[in-house]
Amino acid sequence: VGERPGSVALLGGGVIGGGWAARFLLNGVDVRLYDPDPRAPEVLAGMLENARRAYAKLTLVPLPDEGELHFTDTVPEAVAGVDLVQESAPERLELKRELLAAASRAAGASVPLCSSTSGLRPTELAAEVTGPERLLVGHPFNPVYLLPLVELCGGRATDPEVLERAGAMYRSVGMEPLTVRTEIDGFIADRLLEALWREALWLVHDGVATVQEVDDAIRYGAGLRWALMGTFLTYRIAGGPAGMRHFMAHFGPTLQAPWTKLTDVPELTPGFLDTIVAQSDAQADGRSIAELERWRDDALIAVLHGLRTQGAGAGATLSRWERSLRDGAAPAEGSGTGDIPLRLIAREIPAAWIDYNEHVHESRYLQLFGDATDALLTRLGLGPDAVAQAGASFYTVETRLNHLRPLLAGDRVTVTTQVLGADDKRLHLLHVIARGDEPVARAEQMLLHVDTPSGRAAAMAAPLRARVEALASAHAHLARPAPAPSLASRLAAPA
Ligand SMILES: NC(=O)c1ccc[n+]([C@@H]2O[C@H](COP(=O)([O-])OP(=O)(O)OC[C@H]3O[C@@H](n4cnc5c(N)ncnc54)[C@H](O)[C@@H]3O)[C@@H](O)[C@H]2O)c1
C-alpha cells in the first residue's frame, strides 16, 4: 500500500518495541528484531497474541498476510536490507547513541533511523551516527498497535525529506504522524503529560487524593473529552458564544493564582513510594497486567469505533487505514476481467472467529461473502471513495447461503466469485468459499444498483454497465450450478 515498508528493523522488543512489532507484522510488514534479552521472544509472543485479538475486533476489513518475524543476534544483521529502523531500547542516552551509531553503519544510506525515545533530543542521539541527516525521533504511545499518534522530531542535521518519508511509512500502517517543528525535551505530548503527572503525584503526596481518586478525576470528565478534542477546542466551547477571548478573560486570572505546583517535584522518598505502590495495588484489585491490557484494549477499541462514527480524531485515522487496506487488497480498477472465476479473497481464519462449537461463527461466512462483493465492486470502479463521488452503489437485496462443511481456526480459504447474470439494474453473483479445492460454503447474491441520494433502483451509467458486461461475458462459459435446493421447502412439502 503506497509507502508501506517491505521490512523494518526493531532494536529493543519490550513494551514499545513489541508493540511496534505487532503493528508492523499485522500490517503485512516483515520485522527483524534485535533484543539481547533471551526472554524477548516470549514477551513478543504475548504482545502479538493481544494485538491479533485486538485487530480481530477493531476492523472487519481483511488484513494483509502477516509479515514474517526474524530474531537476530546482532544489530547489523537486524538492519541489513530494511526500509526503516526503529530503536526502542531503555531510555539511556549512551545506550541509544551506541545502538543508533551501530545501526547507521550497517543500514542502507537513505534508511530512516528512528528512535522511540520519550524525551531525548534527536541532535543528542545523533552524536555518533554516520549520516545524521536520516536520524529522527518517532515517539509512539502504548499500546503502539492501537494508538495512532507518533510524534516526529528531527535534529539539527535531519533532512526534512527523511522526516516526510518516515511519516508516510507510519501512516501506511494506520498511524497519525505529528511533526514537532522545534526540537525540545519531551516533545509536545510528554511535555503535557509530565505536567499532569507531576500534579497527580503532588495530590497523592499531600494526601489530598488517592491514586484512584486522581484517576477518577480524569476518566469521568476531561479524559472523555480528550479523545475527540484537545484542551483548546474544549475551552473554546466552554467560553460559550462569546468565544475564546471571553474564556481567556474569565479564567485567565486563575492562571496567576496559581492552582498548580508548576515545576516543583515531590521527593520520591521510600515512604511516598510505598504509598503510591500500595494505593496502585488496591486500584488494580488483583487484576494482572495481562488482564488489564485486554480490558484496556477492548475499551480503547470501543472508543475508536465510537469516534469512527463521528469521523472524529483517531476514529478518522481508523477509517483512513481501513480504506487503504481495502485499496491495497483490491486489484487496480479497470485491470481487465482477471482470473475466471475471480479469486478476490485469500485469508487465514483467525481464532477469534470461532464460537463455542469450535467452528467458525455463522456471521463470519456472510462477512467473507460481503468482503468478496466489496472487492468485486472496487474492481468495477465502485470502491468506497467512488461510491461517495458517483452517488450510486449496489445494495445486496438477497443472499442464499449454503453451508457445506465446517470451517476451523487456521484454515486458509479463498473466495471465488462468478457473475451469473446482469441487466441494467441487477447483478447476480455466485461466491464460493473453498479450503484448497474443497468447497466449504456458497452464496448466491442479487445486488441492485441504487441511486444513493434517492435510495431508488437506477440503471447503471454506461461505463459501469460495460465493465459489468465484460465480466459477465468472460464468465458466460463457466458451469452454471443449479440453484441450491431449499431444505426448508423440502421439509414443508407433503411426504
Ligand atoms: N513505555 C511507554 O509507555 C513508552 C511510550 C513511548 C516511548 N517509550 C520509549 O520507548 C523506549 C523503550 O521503552 P519500553 O517501555 O519499551 O522499555 P522496556 O524496558 O519494556 O523495553 C526495553 C527493551 O530493550 C531491550 N534492550 C536492552 N538493551 C538493549 C540493547 N543494547 N539493544 C537492544 N535492545 C536492548 C530490553 O531487553 C527490553 O526488552 C524508551 O526509550 C522509552 O522512553 C516508552
Number of neighbours of residue 74 by Cβ within 10 angstroms? 12
Q: What is the pLDDT of residue 401?
A: 94
Q: Pick the residue whose CA is nearest to atom 5 on ligand 1.
A: 141
Alpha helices, DSSP H, located in 288-361:
289-310, 313-329
Per residue in 441-493, pLDDT tens? 999 999 999 999 999 999 999 999 999 999 999 999 998 877 677 777 776 65
pLDDT in tens, 228-279: 999 999 989 888 888 888 888 988 888 888 888 778 899 999 999 999 999 9
Assess whether the C-beta atom of 142 lies below 6 angstroms from ligand 1: yes
Find out whether 134 and 162 touch, Cβ atoms under 8 Å: yes
- The string of pLDDT tens digits covering residues 453-463 is 999 999 999 99
User: Mutation test of ligand 1: which of 118, 175, 188, 190 has the most ligand atoms closer than 8 Å to its C-beta?
Assistant: 118
Decide: 186 in ligand 1 pocket, CB within 6 A: no
Residue 86 CB neighbours (<10 A): 30
Phi, psi at 352, each rounded to 5° = -65, -10
Q: Does the C-beta of 115 come closer than 6 Å to ligand 1?
A: no
What residues contact residue 37 under an 8 Å CB cut-off, 6+ apart?
13, 43
The CA-based angle 62-63-67, given to 5 degrees, is: 155
CA gap 175, 327 in Å, rounded = 17
Structure letter (DSSP) for residue 354:
B
Indicate whether residue 189 lines ligand 1 (CB < 6 A).
no
Closest CA to 84 of 14, 175, 157: 175
Q: How far is the CA of 144 from the centre of ligand 1 (A)?
A: 13
Number of residues that make up the chain: 495
Ligand 1 pocket, residue 38 CB under 6 Å: no
CA-wise closest residue to 96 among 16, 160, 172, 159: 16
Please tell me the distance from the alpha carbon of residue 41 to that of residue 437, in angstroms, as a whole number. Answer: 36
Give the residue ranges of DSSP H helices in 173-269: 189-205, 211-217, 223-226, 231-238, 243-255
pLDDT digits (tens, 9 = 90+) for 397-448: 999 999 999 999 889 999 999 999 999 999 999 999 999 999 999 999 999 9
pLDDT of residue 346: 87
pLDDT digits 0-9 by tens, 320-342: 999 998 877 665 444 456 778 89
Q: Is the CB of 16 under 6 A from ligand 1?
A: yes
Find out whether 308 and 356 touch, Cβ atoms under 8 Å.
Answer: no
Q: What is the mean pLDDT of the chain?
A: 92
15 within ligand 1 shell (Cβ under 6 A): yes
